[in-house]
Each structure stands twice: as structure tokens, then as C-alpha cells.
Chain A
Amino acid sequence: MPFRYLPDVALADIAFEAESDTVNGLFESSAFALSDIMVDPKTMRSETTRNVRISSDDLDTLLYDFLTEIIGIKDVDSLLFREVEVDVAPDHRSLRATMKGELIDRERHLLRNDVKAVTMHMFGVRREGARWKATVVLDI
């Protein structure tokens, strides 16, 4: 799941750049990066499956809404994920995702940051040659 942190961006927050050969892979990498910021995935199990469907205006806002949904599930249902499979529609305006993880367990999980939100600062999906890339700055 290739992503890298951008340590010099937005000092109080956390920024990352995700990339993949495919749009689906890009969304999966971004979701994995978001989860990695909240919990060490090595301490998680895949006990619960959550399916989500999201429709949006374009590829940018689809990624924004998808990541915001994962943050929302963390607060509403206390669920964090370690495996994510994404199927983005050919028109790049909707997706279906299957996410596996488990309920937050403060004894067993190595928890990290409680991500507040996805910001629009520097936010965007772009294609560079054969690679899809996304820059995301999260409010911590």
C-alpha cells in the first residue's frame, strides 16, 4: 500500500501522498494511510466487514467523501479498518468498498491519532504518467 507522509506540510496536522497504478489502488492506499494514522494495523484483526457505497461529483470529491466516511464510521460505530477493497465506477463518480477491521479495543490496539477531518488544503487526485496520485492533509 504505497503512501508516504509529507512531514513539512501543515505542521499541526498530518499530510500524506498516496499512489497506485489504478484508481482503485489509489483509493485503497489512501484509506490504508488514513487507517494507519489512527491505529497500528499490525495490532488489528479483520473480524467485521463493512460495505459502503458512495456517490459524488467527480474523482476528487469521491475520494474526499470516501475518507470522510471512514472517519465518521470511527466515531459512530467505533470501527477501524485494516483491509479495504475499492471498486470505483468507470465514470469516477461513485464507488463500492468492502472494508474489514474491528471494534476499537483500547487494550489490544495500538491507537494513534484521532483524525478529525479531511481538509481541502492541497487536496487532489492527479495522474502522473502511468501513476495515479493523491495528496491529502488531515486535520488532527
Chain B
Amino acid sequence: MWTAPTSPRRLSFLLVLSIMMFAQSLATLKASPIASRVSEFTLANGLRVVVVPDHRAPVVTHYVWYLAGSADDPPGTSGIAHFLEHLMFKSTDKMPSGEFSKIVSRLGGQDNAFTTHDYTGYFQRIAKERLGTVMEMEADRMANLQLAEKDVLTERDVILEERRSRTENNPSNILSEQMSAALYRNHPYRIPIIGWMHEMAKLSRADALAFYKRFYAPNNAVMVVTGDVTADEVKRLAQASYGKVKANPEVHARVRPQEPPNRTPRRVELKDARAGNASVRRFYLAPSLPKAEPGEAEALYLLMKIVGHSSTSRLYQRLVVEEKLASSAGGWYSGLGLDSGSIGVYAVAAKDVGLDKVEAGIDRVLHELREKEVSADELERAKKAFIADFIYETDSQSALARRYGEGLVLGLSIKQINDWPVAIAKVTAEDIKRVAAQYLDIRSSVTGTLLPVPAEAESDAARPSATVNKS
């Protein structure tokens, strides 16, 4: 499907897209003029359900999230949460192998799934008349997954190719992966969602089924429907499908190893012939929205919008426009982790500028934010952007589904989610200075540099070879 023409800033975004893989969208949690349309109820087996009607088109979007992500992978089996996500498209007692998506497709629907450190999600977008069918199918695989050894082995090759596509073929992503591993010294957020290659290569059917049995149950899931439907219809359909699945009394809250105090800054350097221009990035530990003190995460979102969101941001204006040290620069706050959040900043060096100068430039900008309050005008524009994003989000069924589903998964209430703009509006310049001083702390950071190796060592670079005739 055609996406809208990208922002002119895509020039710089292109370079940092991969960095941004490790930042989540800031646009996920804005409050809403649609607050009054949101319904919430819980089935007897513990499944929590949210419904957000949108009658503009005769279609629905149906999501299920499990409170299980890659940070719950048992030690030594990194990638199992994500591997299971793939395997959920195989067979059940009723569903022949590989038929799930084909059936959705025949019904004129589209489906997919995703895994993060904290949750695993599945969705279908389909004509409203088909909602009952896809709910039946989703409820079926919640309890009745069957895995043939052969399917498991073939799909394991697929995830290995997926890792090659996402990570091994992309030095920027390799660096971000190494940086996360250095940022978290104890928490499993240090391990990539897709897993380490050597552990992925050994994942087994038994590993997948153990994870499935431990986490996949109605009392460990959240279901959301947005679109051309009413809460009553969804309740009826949910009772007829998910309502038949038994709760798992063994499900208990996830307890993961937490971070000790961070006492030393870390540095990571990657030299790679494929690197393009030299760049530097830094991640800081920061509390996530679920873990932060009231108002702290809101202040961090606004701080990082002002620091690095667009070409009006401090980093871009200073490093790119005024000092001409960088060809692009920016930053973000990732606040939607269950246990921890992070702050990120980056810059791509301008031609013939050393990375040490670029990094010093970043440090100057961050230092000012710790010392001096942001201007009233900056704060006002940042707040407006968040509140407007929230309204823009109401144009998309999927965005609304994710707003409420992911919010519940992270332990927020519907009211907290709907009140997001109010919480944003309360933040003061003083709050922002305080969180900057507290969390832009070099001792709890990792700095990564990505360097193209010198040209003479580039024998492996993109070099057209003799071509081969084939036909």
C-alpha cells in the first residue's frame, strides 16, 4: 500500500532509521476526543477487552497481545518469544499447517504479528462481517497450537534469514545491538528481540511449546477491536470464541533481573566498510512511563522532542545549521518499556569533521539543558505537537488499537491513557530541566561510534564484478 510521501527529513531519517529501531514511536499514547467511545470489560477467564468503535468504513481491526516478550526468553534460548510468534501461524487441532494466513487472505483480510521485549501481538484487518471468524481462529491458536518437527525446523531457517536481513546485513543495526547489550548490564533488555544467532540456531520445538504453555492464556492477554462494530457485538463474539478458552492458573507476574546502579560510562566502536559516513550515537538509561514518578516520563518526552525531534530541534539547529559539524542530528525518548526506558541521541558527521568534535557538540547541547530551562515557546510547540499527534492518531484503526492495547499491557489504565494530553500539559520548564539533569548522566550511558574503514582497506566494498550471462 502506498505510504504518504515521506518527510523531506527522510534524508537524515534514512541514516538513522536503524537507530530508531531501538526507539519507539512517540506517537503512541496521546489522549483523546474519542475517550467517550472506548469500552473496556473482562471475560470470566480473565481476558481483558477494549473496544473503540469507528464507523467510517465497514472494516474492523482485531488485535491480541500476550504479556510475554523476548525479555521473558529463558536464559540460553534468546529469540524464543519471537520464534513462537512465527510458529503460531502453523497448525492447531483444527487448522492445517500454514493455513491461518491463507484463510484470512481468502476472506479478504490481512494479518501479521510482532514481538517486542515486553509483549507479542497478533492482528487481522478485515471486513466487519468476518470479525467473528477471525476471533474464533485467534482463540483457537491461543490454546490449541500443534507443532510438527519439520515445520519448526523450516521456520527456524526463516528466522535466521530474518536476522541476516535485519541485522547482519546492516552495520548500523549491529552497532545498536551491541550498544543495548552494553547499556543494560543485568536486565534482559540487553539481549536482542530476535535473539543471538548462535542461540537461535538451536531453538527447538520443545522450547517453543514450553514458552507457549507458560504464557499463552486468556488471563495473560489483552484483546482490542477497533472499527465498525459496537462493544455489545464484540462482547457477544468474544464470549462465543475466547470465552471457551480456559484460564491458566499458573500464569504469574513476570519478574526479571533489574539493573544495578550504573557507575561508569561505556563506549562501543564498530568499524565497517559498509558504514557510509561516520556517525555517533548515545543511549542513556531512563525510567519508562510505567516505572517513572508521576510526570517524569511526560517531561522526558517533551525534553527529547525539544532536543531532537525535528529540524527545529536543539541538536539539529546547533550541530547541523549553526556549527555545521553534522549532516543530520536528533534524539528521542523511549518510554514504553515495562521495566526501563532509554534516551537516545545521534549525529552523522559532516564531511571532514572528526567524530570527537561532533560528540563534543552533542555534549554542549545536552549540558545546556541540564543547566538552563527551555524557552516557553519551545515548550509550547512541543506540547502542541503531542496533543495534535493524538488527534491525528484517531484517523487510524491500528494506531488506536495499539494505543489502548499496549497501554493496558504496560499496566496503564484506560483513564491514564485518555488523560495523556492533560498530563503533558502540566509539565513545566523546571520539570524538564530536572529530568535532564537527572537522566542525561554519562555514567548510565553507552556511546557508540560507527566508522567506515579507510578506503584502502575496502576491498570488500560494493565493487561491480564480472557479470554472468544467464540465458
Are A and B a genuine interacting pair, yes or no? no
Binding site for A on B (CB under 8 A): none
